[in-house]
């Protein structure tokens, strides 16, 4: 029987960095929280490229969402995909039923943005999900298995040419990790392949890598990649890809079987199906409290939200999602107790990215670091961010092993 003292229903869509953090802030509030995700795990996206390049196992960066929330007594996890939303009846539609809410948090995350290049979408690889990362790993390893017994030199070189598109952290980290996989590990195991035939090409449309970093660190990143035999191609735009040939603006053609697209992100597709105001990247326009302007009971955070600070939209990165989750959790508690909501204020926590062993760039406030010390900080920060002790420990041990023995042991092709 419903009484007025029954706790309010909070529905959170998405168990990424943002959604999970909201559930943590609300863990002791007088609300009933339902956390919904289409997967039953939380994915540690920043290390996804290490799954794609055979450094880590799937299980090292994915962690059961139920296990995370099991001690939060007012939080229930429900596996399901959001298919629609009725603002009037305050109901979320899932593929497996419906959920009523008093407060809704949309934290549905990001998706790959091909900017309309459907040929690349069809023949290239995206790296936003665990399945996609495993698909890339299987594909890369399989190119070598085919090349090892391919007698036609043109076909063989196309099999051994790997193009990464996008000069942001994901593209640079992938290119660096790919180089180490190939030149430090695999070159010991294909006696009948000539590794001079391998090409790794990083393509970026603008004139810089790591656009958010200071120039000194950008230059260091380029130098490190070149030392790792990565061809860095700036000011080059991809216009077409048919699975065998990559066409660049200006007429250049690269024969390659592997194009990894890390050149753009946008909000997850579900947002574009809702009757809401969005920006060009499909992100919902939110007010200063991260609410939908016409529906203050609906909050949007992380990659799903467009929020401007200092006249520029915030980047689609984990720290923003976590900060916005903290703010949203508090604002739901404020709403329950009749307090005024607080405005979200962005705090820049800096940027870091690794290019490979002993090589990273770190930019926090006025601190700029590169080389071994930056790499060490990057490693510690990422280990600490991993969600539970065992994942931390296994990842730590694997990194130590790979570092000492120049090895990558997650090199199995699981699907064909």
What residues from 211 to 270 belong to the interface with a copy of itself (CB under 8 A)?
none
Minimal distance, residue 191 CB to a copy of itself, in Å: 7
What residues from 48 to 67 belong to the interface with a copy of itself (CB under 8 A)?
57-60, 62-64, 66-67
Phi and psi torsions of 33, nearest 5° = -105, 130
Rule CB under 8 A: say whether 79 interacts with a copy of itself: yes
Minimal distance, residue 56 CB to a copy of itself, in Å: 9
Q: How far apart are the C-alpha atoms of 201 and 96, rounded to whole Å?
A: 43
Asked whether 141 and 162 are in contact (CB, 8 A), the reply is no
Catalytic residue among 2, 81, 121, 173: 173
Nearer to a copy of itself (CB atom), residue 364 or residue 413: 413
Angle between helices 371-385 and 389-405 (to 10 degrees): 150
Q: Which of 84, 86, 145, 153 binds a copy of itself (CB under 8 A)?
A: 145
Nearer to a copy of itself (CB atom), residue 252 or residue 388: 388
Residue with tokens 């700036």: 234
Say whether 340 is catalytic.
no
Asked whether 197 and 235 are in contact (CB, 8 A), the reply is no
What residues from 390 to 409 belong to the interface with a copy of itself (CB under 8 A)?
390-391, 393-394, 397-398, 401, 407, 409
- Closest listed residue to residue 258, CA positions, set 128, 120, 415: 120
Nearer to a copy of itself (CB atom), residue 94 or residue 301: 94
Rule CB under 8 A: say whether 97 interacts with a copy of itself: yes
Nearer to a copy of itself (CB atom), residue 233 or residue 411: 411
Residue with tokens 């770190």: 362
Tell me how crowded residue 319 is: count the other CB atoms within 10 A of its CB.
16
Tokens standing for 9?
């229903």
Nearer to a copy of itself (CB atom), residue 242 or residue 388: 388
Rule CB under 8 A: say whether 183 interacts with a copy of itself: no
Q: Which uninterrupted H or E stretch holds 331?
A: helix 318-336
Count Cα neighbours of 256 within 13 Å in the Cβ-side half-sphere.
27
Stretch that binds a copy of itself, among 34-42, 287-295, 327-335, 375-383 (CB under 8 A): 34-42
Tokens standing for 405?
């023995």
Decide: helix, strand or coil at residue 249. Answer: coil
Count Cα neighbours of 170 within 13 Å in the Cβ-side half-sphere.
22
Rule CB under 8 A: say whether 410 interacts with a copy of itself: yes
Residue with tokens 């809702």: 274
3-class DSSP string for 113-139:
CCCCCHHHHHHCEECCCHHHHHHHHHH
Minimal distance, residue 318 CB to a copy of itself, in Å: 19
Kindly state the number of chain residues that form the binding site for a copy of itself, as judged by CB under 8 A: 48
Rule CB under 8 A: say whether 365 interacts with a copy of itself: no
DSSP at 281: T
Minimal distance, residue 12 CB to a copy of itself, in Å: 16
Nearer to a copy of itself (CB atom), residue 221 or residue 395: 395
Rule CB under 8 A: say whether 274 interacts with a copy of itself: no
Q: Which residue ranges make up the site for a copy of itself (CB under 8 A)? A: 39-41, 57-60, 62-64, 66-67, 70, 76, 78-79, 96-97, 130-131, 134, 141-142, 145-146, 148-149, 188-192, 388, 390-391, 393-394, 397-398, 401, 407, 409-415
Instruction: List active site positions.
Output: 173
């Amino acid at each position: 029987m419903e009484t007025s003292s029954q706790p309010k229903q909070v529905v959170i869509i998405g168990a990424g960095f943002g959604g999970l953090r909201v559930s943590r802030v609300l863990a002791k509030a007088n609300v009933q929280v339902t956390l919904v995700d289409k997967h039953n795990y939380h994915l540690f996206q920043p290390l996804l490229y290490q799954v794609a390049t055979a450094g880590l196992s799937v299980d090292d960066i994915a962690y059961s969402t139920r296990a995370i929330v099991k001690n939060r007594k007012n939080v229930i996890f429900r596996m399901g995909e959001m298919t629609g939303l009725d603002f009037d009846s305050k109901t979320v539609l899932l593929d497996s039923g419906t959920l009523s809410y008093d407060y809704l948090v949309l934290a549905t995350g990001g998706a790959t943005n091909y900017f309309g290049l459907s040929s690349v979408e069809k023949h290239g690889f995206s790296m936003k999900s665990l399945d996609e990362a495993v698909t890339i790993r299987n594909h890369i390893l399989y190119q070598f298995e085919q090349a090892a017994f391919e007698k036609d030199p043109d076909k063989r070189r196309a099999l051994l040419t790997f193009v990464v598109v996008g000069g942001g952290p994901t593209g640079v980290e992938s290119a660096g990790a790919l180089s180490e996989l190939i030149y430090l590990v695999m070159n010991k195991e294909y006696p009948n392949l000539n590794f001079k035939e391998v090409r790794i090409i990083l393509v970026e449309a603008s004139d810089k890598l790591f656009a958010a970093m200071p120039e000194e660190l950008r230059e260091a990143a380029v130098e490190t990649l070149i030392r790792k035999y990565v061809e860095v191609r700036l000011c080059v735009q991809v216009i077409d890809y048919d699975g065998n040939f990559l066409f660049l603006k200006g007429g250049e053609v690269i024969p390659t079987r592997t194009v990894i697209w890390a050149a753009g992100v946008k909000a997850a597709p579900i947002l574009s199906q809702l009757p809401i105001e969005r920006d060009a990247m499909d992100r919902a326009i939110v007010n200063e409290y991260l609410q939908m302007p016409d529906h203050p009971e609906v909050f949007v955070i992380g990659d799903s939200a467009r929020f401007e600070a200092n006249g520029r939209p915030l980047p689609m990165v984990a720290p923003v999602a976590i900060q916005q989750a903290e703010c949203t959790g508090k604002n739901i508690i404020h709403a329950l107790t009749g307090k005024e909501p607080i405005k979200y204020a962005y705090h820049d926590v800096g940027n870091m990215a690794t290019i490979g062993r002993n090589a990273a760039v770190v930019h926090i406030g006025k601190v700029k670091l590169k080389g071994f010390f930056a790499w060490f900080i990057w490693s510690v920060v990422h280990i600490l961010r991993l969600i539970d002790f065992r994942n931390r420990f296994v990842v730590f041990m694997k990194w130590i092993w790979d570092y000492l023995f120049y090895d990558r042991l997650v090199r199995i092709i699981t699907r064909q």
